[in-house]
Chains A and B, each alone.
Chain A
Amino acid sequence: MAETRKYPAPQGNPETKPFWDAAAAGKFMIKRCTACGEAHYFPRSICPFCFSDKTVWEQSSGEGEIYTFSLMRKSATGPYAIGYVTLREGPSLQTNFVDCDIDKLKIGQKVKVVFKPTDGAPLPFFTPV
């Protein structure tokens, strides 16, 4: 059912525009700080760990595993699976799990990024490998 949901177009802003431009080209980007070496998500211009402004864009593998999830049963657009993925590069992020039988999701399961269209830039989701 999640596939039939209509997703809002990202509004974007000068800080995050490169992320959405890359998403339009099918690339899933994270930010990494060259001062402390830590990767983070969602992207900031200033590192949330060491507060350096030496952050750079990096293409993520788009691969990770499910940290947790919950199946929302009471929704006007049908059940959907919200959860967190921990990327191979380290950061965890909120997402929906799509294109799968959501009743079979498990913590620790391997997943990969998939983009879904909006009226603007596409949005990242994750699906079991």
Chain B
Amino acid sequence: MTIKGRAYIAGIHEHPTRHAPDKSTAQLHAEVAKGALEDAGLTKADVDGYFCAGDAPGGAWPMVDYLGLRVRHVDSTETGGCSYLIHLGHAAEAIAAGKCSIALITLAGKPRTGPLPPRAAGAEADFEAAYGATTHNAYGMCAMRHMHDYGTTSEQLAWIKVAASHHAQYNPHALLKDVVTVEDVVNSPMISDPLHRLDCCVVTDGGGALIVTTPEIAKSLKKPQVRLIGHGEAMKGPRGGKDLDLTYSAGIWSGPRAFEEAGVTPRDIKYASIYDSFTITVLMQIEDLGFCKKGEGGKFVADGNLISGVGKLPFNTDGGGLCSNHPVNRGGMTKIIEAVRQLRGEAHPKVQVPNCDLAVAHGTGGLLGVRHAASTCILERA
């Protein structure tokens, strides 16, 4: 069985807010759900499947009740920032199996307003919690080793932020709209060596939602049709400490699975949404997905190669998490949304990729330098 072509993304919505102290988290979930349903041309009563992750207050059943849904399929897989990429794959599986026909996926939260609730501890807690792993230093450890093994430089990493900023200048909702230079990035304050402040993503309130449905229903709606043709998911951790290698991610497994299912290769991809919690996240994912060889990511991203209209691999044309939006410190949702905009031809004209008919949306969740998940979605204009 394959999910290839079995599910279409019929509705998308990215909340325009980046700071929402006057709203509740559940309210933001409802607002993005409403926005995605309106985008699809459907109503709440049509929804029969619901997907949410750890950002949903109380989990699936409080959210289903709060939203007033009546569903026959739920999935609350929690894999951090890539949860929503995994939800998309799981929604396609459920739709292909006849378990639901119109699935709603929501993400929302307010880390810019205040701290997020702590996560439950794993079996490793006594052996790791005291050492102060944060997102910054966990990704810093990856960057440090990547530089050591492959000669990757801070200037090469900076090009990723530069490309994102070139795209963000056209996004009226982007938190950071100023174009920056390589010098701006490497001269910004060091946060956790070797990552500077401008190697880091933004912290924003907000959210996003998707409507996933059957080919038949999608074809009855008015929006341009975008379908999922390949999906992969994987996890990676220290695994007892054997053969530790922080220069690659679980994307080396999720990527090939997705490309194989889709029957396409990285060379065929016209646009890439790649989770950009930090610049190093993008560089490692580009290697792991096979856009270049391991260790050559630094050369690949340099000199504007990720800028739409300039380089070979236009990425994160909304400005991404580095400049535009990173709702709830989870980047997977906005990665799918911008890929759908590109495939629909709805991206900003200054960054729209001509004849964009094949895209990848990819992300990781958790801490790349500790333990994490990855998921890859190959999307096609139908």
Contact = CB atoms under 8 A, between A and B. Distances in A.
- Chain B: interface size category: 35 or more
Contacts of B126: 10-12, 16, 20, 42
A48 B82 CA distance: 25
A125 to B, nearest CB: 8
Contacts of A82: 131-133, 137-138, 141
Interface residues of A, number: 40
B192 A93 contact: no
A4 B129 CA distance: 17
A90 B140 CA distance: 23
Interface string A88-112: 0011111110000000000100000
Interface in B173-229: 189-195
A41 B131 contact: no
A48 to B, nearest CB: 4
Question: Which 3 pairs of residues, A with B, have the shortest CB-CB distance?
Answer: A70-B140, A91-B241, A40-B240
Given A82-B137, A82-B141, A84-B246, A70 B241 contact: no
B370 interface: yes
Nearest to A48: B240
From B142, B148, B189, B193, residue with most partner A Cβ within 10 Å: B193
A63 interface: no
Nearest to B190: A73
23 contacts: A11-B125, A12-B126, A38-B242, A40-B240, A42-B123, A42-B124, A67-B244, A68-B141, A68-B246, A70-B136, A70-B141, A70-B194, A71-B140, A72-B137, A72-B140, A73-B189, A75-B132, A82-B138, A86-B244, A87-B241, A92-B242, A94-B128, A96-B132
Nearest to B121: A11
Contact of A72 (B132, B142, B144, B370): B132
Interface in B126-158: 126-134, 136-138, 140-145, 148
Given A73-B191, A84-B141, A107-B144, A49 B131 contact: no
Contacts of A16: 126-127
Given A67-B244, A69-B144, A72-B137, A93 B130 contact: no
A67 B246 CA distance: 9
A95 B144 CA distance: 16
